[in-house]
Amino acid sequence: KQEVTQIPAALSVPEGENLVLNCSFTDSAIYNLQWFRQDPGKGLTSLLLIQSSQREQTSGRLNASLDKSSGRSTLYIAASQPGDSATYLCAVGRGNTPLVFGKGTRLSVIA
């Protein structure tokens, strides 16, 4: 059974810092990995999708890497801003099966 772990569970940083969120998964037989952002009481916004054949994806200040063999992914956020404060969720997928989620990292960026 696939299990996804995210570390740290919570993180508080001053504005402007670069930060890394970690995600690990137990079964490396995945098709893709997706990072989401969730604001309190809201739905999920997809940030980055990495196919299993890819090693990283970038969007603006965000960069996600994937090491499938070791079962790890990182989300790098450059020059963090207060607006980045949210919960970041990592999820892995395999074909048409539903995504398996980690518990998320609650990020707080302090002005």
The residues of the shown chain that bind another protein, judged by CB under 8 A, are 31-32, 34, 36, 41-44, 46, 49, 51, 89, 91, 93, 96, 98-99, 101-104
Order of all β-strands in the sheet with 56-59: 4-7, 19-25, 72-77, 62-67, 56-59
The residue among 7 and 79 lying less far from another protein, judged by its C-beta, is 7
Strands 10-14 vs 105-110: parallel, antiparallel or unpaired = parallel
User: Least distance from C-beta 96 to another protein, angstroms?
Assistant: 6
CB 70 within 8 A of CB 53: no
Name the minimum Å distance from CB 89 to another protein.
7
d(CA 4, CA 74): 13
Cβ 32 to another protein, closest distance in Å? 5
Least distance CB 103 / another protein (angstroms): 4
Is 89 in contact with 104 (CB distance < 8 Å)?
yes
> Would you say 6 or 80 has its CB closer to another protein?
6
